[in-house]
Chains A and B, each alone.
Chain A
Amino acid sequence: MGILTVANLGKSYPSAGHPLTVLKGVNFDITAGSSVAIVGPSGSGKTTLLGLCAGLDRSTTGNVVLNGVDFNNLGEDERAKVRNQYVGFIFQNFQLLPTLTALENVMVPLELRGETNIKARSLALLDKVGLAERANHYPTQLSGGEQQRVSLARAFSNSPQILFADEPTGNLDTETGEKVEQLLFDLNKDAGTTLILVTHDLELASKTERIIRLKSGEVWSDEPIALQHGQ
């Protein structure tokens, strides 16, 4: 059984008095340890799908089962607990807590778990992303690339089983983007984490094992990368 199962997933929002359907009938199953890219044009429902898969929002239809836990059966707090236990996040706009230093940002998921002696582990992660020297800097004192590297360290701090990355290089220049990209795949490989990557960058998507294409809220194609390359 996969780590993430999405069955008949649908989401609509009220818009001008009528429901606006963003996702409909989405089905897929993701194996633990694999890497998957969700691609599609703007407005195709990529980020909505990622939010539903991570339990950040409630679906209108269907269900999401993460590591054997059906989100439909959980309240807000229970879903938060699941995220804290199994999930790591990387966002396009980094989403660091501006009032915390780089080190404190990395420590947050562990703090929320109530773990102790976490400073050394968090510093080690910052060291892995090359930012041990800047541990006490606030996000505003870091460049975009540095902020995304802190975000990477934070995503791996709770040793997640699944990592959701939403356009992780979207706000970075090519050179920095490539460095962050490399770091993301290296850390993922070392930790054996499942990676769900949302992007419209086909080159980045091609580095994963499988690509799910979305179009107008529906799965248009879902193929392993080898098939896409015509192998």
Chain B
Amino acid sequence: MILGIAALVAIFALGDNLNRDIDSQAATLIGADLDLSSNRESTPAAKFIIDSLKKEASAVSEEQRFASMILFTKTGGTRLVQLRALRGAYPFYGVMETSPASAAADFYTGKGVLVDQTLMLQFKASVGDTVQLGTLKFAIAGILNQAPGQSGFASTIAPAVFMPLDAIAKSGLSQKGSRINYHYYYKFNSGFNTDELVKRLETRLDKRDLDAETISSKKESTGKSFADVTKFLSLVGFIALLLGCIGVASAVHIYVKEKVKSIAILRCLGLSSKQAFLIYLIQIVCIGFLGAVAGAVLGTLIQQLLPVLFQDLLPIKMSTLISWRAIGQGLILGICIAFLFSLSSLISIRKVSPLNTLRAVTPEGSQAKDPLTWFVYLLILAFITCFARLQLSNWLQTFVFSAAIVISFAFLYGISALVIKLIRIYFPYSWKYTWRQGLSNLYRPNNQTTILVLSVGLGTAFICTLFFVQSMLTSRITRSTDPTQPNMILFDIQSTQKDAITKLTKSNGFPILQDVPIVTMRLQEINGFSAADVRKDSSSKYSPRAFNAELRVTFRDSLTAAEQLISGKFQTRINQARDTARISLEESYARQIHAGLGDKLLFNVQGMLIPTIVGSIRKVDWNRVQTNFRLVFPLGVIDDAPQFHVLVTRVPDANASAAFQQKIVSGFPNVSIIDLALILSVVDGILDKIGFVIRFMAGFSIITGLIVLISSVMISKYQRIQESVLLRTLGASRGQVFAITALEYFFLGAIASLTGIVIALAGNWALARFSFEIPFQPNWLAVALIFLSISGLTMLIGILNSRTVLSKPPLEILRKNS
């Protein structure tokens, strides 16, 4: 229980500190009071708004952000980066942290570029080296350690390079079809209400495709995403706590059984059943409180370590202040849990009769007949549900989580009952005595089968799930390293560059696996409803979001291998120029915009309106390394629209890849390249970091499971020793007693871990089938290793617990334990 409370206190404190840090650092997250952004070049109307705001601002700054290639001229290394071309004194809040510290000032005066530290490390570059961006060469003014709103995590995926915006035009990086994000940063005088300004301008901004972010909206969105993370981790911690609760319930059950004689004596002396119940209730609640205090202290200590795990994933600096709120929550939880999970055993105290003093044997009371027991179970269920509701956003999720907990526990309980029944029915009478005795201990009175299957089974299910999910994620990526699959994607190729790049690729001996034209457009109307209509009508089934996105669309006359037609007819080409095109939608996109066969969609292709009808719906396998599209036009409609191209190829090795990338960057500086091998290593690193965070949390559950295992073995120690000593008295050799003990715990561990593995296999099969949509291929070797490790560990704990019996004379042990 202490560990469960510790996990939750640490997570609650993390959440508290994150909220506080986001509050205090929100301004540095966005770096300005207002960030207006758009993914298209501003129209005169948009420009009017942008310029008019400049008059109210005390400082303005402008940025163009896009993916581009960087070339380190000294080593010839190239990589796709996030280029941030800046004009003005942004950030207005927070600072660009650079090495040397003076580099930021140098950058603002136009002396070179700032390069992210991960890039500098990767290409072993130094300050003063030259890099090529587009057609221009720049000196590296400094290393960028931290920019406003940029997390270590984000810079691993797309490291940032800051360059002067004025140099963009000459660099040749900005071409037709280039996917540029335009940002306009404003700083207002203190006291200025930016949120009110944005509210006032909302409709106009929407109309001009301008998104507005203020300090308070950034605070809200960042806070929300991290609240989601901490809530998820709280649920993982809560499961660790529930495992501890099983331990609490089992310990109190045994404790109460041992105390029946004492209670009966007290009852003889005039103690009422209520008083007897209260004595032990107060005792257990006090122990629960002490456990909760210990958990809170441990959790607070663990919280100091959490920044080491999370800092890379966060865009803010984490503090580790003691959270009294989290400690309070932990204490309340600890007391509630000690109370609730001991209650089912404690209520049986009311039924202890004074007659027990006269009986040589204490009869087992039937708790199932006590209606209060069911009331206690209901209380526990209500407690789990309430806790889950506090962490989850709606009742459906709460219900699913609580149901999953109840089903898992019921399944584990059911399995242990089934195993006990099966062993009794199909008992192998022909086996050797020690094997039979070890096996039969699983169903004999006072057996530990249920408690161990619950605790060890759940722990195993956890370990396996983590393992399976991680291998599923990596298998998705490693499938792309298959030698038959493409591994390099060139994009942002202008139509005028297409032939030359194709020729260069072929001359290097690489195949052209795909050559796809891409046209950018926006959805203007769905069945005659525009974004403005939808916004006005709150009951409309269409979402305004459907109109916001910039769509990248292709045109062709056939389906690719990754596509499958699920309804309608795929139109290959329009018959006459005046015909309305019948486009094909990807199924989830169709669902998202609420469009079906026959619906009329009007697109704005860079100023030109093109009417279409939904002619077919496709299913797309997004896992393939190739270009896939939500929208496909037939030939003859947008063939001449402004477009860029994507070329997919396969390079044989890292050296060939580097040499080819250098040629492309030198000859076609605006073209960007995705090197899958690099992406693979980056994603692997990220998965490792995320995996570590999850493993850290799951570690609490596993350790709790082990502690429950050790304590349940310890609880039964005296009974086991008594039995083993008796066997020794009757002539059993050390080997026989050892074999019986080892086999009993091996069977227990094996059943518990197998049950956990079955749960994990079923759950992960469902995950693979319905969520990841990939075939589930568990690594059976790893499964076997997990099975052997957990069975072996359970056996080891059991043997260690019984070791005194093996070496000492029987009378000596009995005397020591009496």
Decide yes or no whether A67 CB sits under 8 A from chain B.
no
Decide yes or no whether B179 CB sits under 8 A from chain A.
no
> Quick one: which of B441, B444, B809 contacts A57, CB cutoff 8 A?
B809
Decide yes or no whether A81 CB sits under 8 A from chain B.
yes
Q: Which residues of A contact B363 (CB under 8 A)?
A: 140
Q: Which A residue sits closest to B723, measured CB to CB?
A: A97
Closest Cβ of chain B: how far from A106's Cβ, in Å?
Answer: 11
Q: Which residues of B contact A87 (CB under 8 A)?
A: 731
Q: Which A residue sits closest to B446, measured CB to CB?
A: A99
Bound Cα distance A84, B437 (Å): 18
Bound Cα distance A81, B733 (Å): 7
Bound Cα distance A112, B733 (Å): 8
Decide yes or no whether A19 CB sits under 8 A from chain B.
no
Size bracket, chain B contacts: 20 to 34
| Structural contact, A112 and B360, CB atoms closer than 8 A | no
| Structural contact, B446 and A112, CB atoms closer than 8 A | no
Decide yes or no whether A85 CB sits under 8 A from chain B.
yes
Closest Cβ of chain B: how far from A150's Cβ, in Å?
Answer: 13
Closest Cβ of chain B: how far from A149's Cβ, in Å?
Answer: 15
| Structural contact, A81 and B731, CB atoms closer than 8 A | yes
A window 103-131: CB within 8 A of B? 108-109, 111-114
Bound Cα distance A113, B731 (Å): 8
Bound Cα distance A63, B364 (Å): 46
> Quick one: which of B447, B726, B807 contacts A76, CB cutoff 8 A?
B807
| Structural contact, B731 and A80, CB atoms closer than 8 A | yes
Given known A-B contacts A56-B809, A57-B812, A99-B445, A77 and B727 have beta carbons under 8 A apart? no
Interface string of B339-379 (1 = CB under 8 A from A): 00000000000000000000011011000000000000000
Given known A-B contacts A57-B811, A99-B723, A114-B433, A109 and B730 have beta carbons under 8 A apart? yes
| Structural contact, A76 and B734, CB atoms closer than 8 A | yes
Bound Cα distance A99, B444 (Å): 5
Closest Cβ of chain B: how far from A176's Cβ, in Å?
Answer: 11
| Structural contact, B731 and A100, CB atoms closer than 8 A | no
Q: Which residues of A contact B364 (CB under 8 A)?
A: 140
> Quick one: which of B726, B731, B807 contacts A97, CB cutoff 8 A?
B726
Q: Which A residue sits closest to B447, measured CB to CB?
A: A99
Q: Which residues of A contact B361 (CB under 8 A)?
A: 140
Interface string of B433-473 (1 = CB under 8 A from A): 10001000100111100000000000000000000000000
Bound Cα distance A80, B441 (Å): 22
B window 773-818: CB within 8 A of A? 807-812
| Structural contact, A56 and B445, CB atoms closer than 8 A | no
Bound Cα distance A99, B440 (Å): 9
Closest Cβ of chain B: how far from A193's Cβ, in Å?
Answer: 16
| Structural contact, B445 and A112, CB atoms closer than 8 A | no
Closest Cβ of chain A: how far from B432's Cβ, in Å?
Answer: 8
| Structural contact, B444 and A84, CB atoms closer than 8 A | no
Bound Cα distance A81, B360 (Å): 33
Q: Which residues of A contact B731 (CB under 8 A)?
A: 80-85, 87, 109, 112-113, 158
Kindly name the residue among B729, B730, B809, B811 whose own CB sees the greatest number of chain A CB atoms within 10 A: B730
Bound Cα distance A111, B435 (Å): 11
Given known A-B contacts A56-B811, A97-B723, A144-B360, A138 and B729 have beta carbons under 8 A apart? no
Q: Which residues of B contact A89 (CB under 8 A)?
A: 729-730
| Structural contact, B809 and A112, CB atoms closer than 8 A | no
| Structural contact, A77 and B433, CB atoms closer than 8 A | no
| Structural contact, B729 and A140, CB atoms closer than 8 A | no
Bound Cα distance A80, B812 (Å): 14
Closest Cβ of chain B: how far from A56's Cβ, in Å?
Answer: 4
Closest Cβ of chain A: how far from B450's Cβ, in Å?
Answer: 15
Closest Cβ of chain B: how far from A180's Cβ, in Å?
Answer: 14
| Cβ-closest 7 pairs across A and B | A84-B731, A99-B444, A57-B811, A111-B433, A56-B811, A51-B811, A83-B731
A-B contacts, 23 of them at CB < 8 A, read: A51-B811, A56-B729, A56-B809, A58-B809, A76-B728, A77-B733, A80-B733, A80-B734, A81-B731, A81-B733, A83-B731, A84-B732, A87-B731, A95-B729, A98-B446, A99-B441, A99-B445, A108-B727, A109-B730, A111-B433, A113-B731, A140-B361, A140-B363
New A-B contacts (12) at CB < 8 Å, excluding given A80-B734, A95-B726, A138-B445: A56-B729, A77-B735, A80-B728, A83-B729, A84-B732, A85-B731, A98-B719, A99-B445, A108-B730, A112-B730, A140-B361, A171-B360
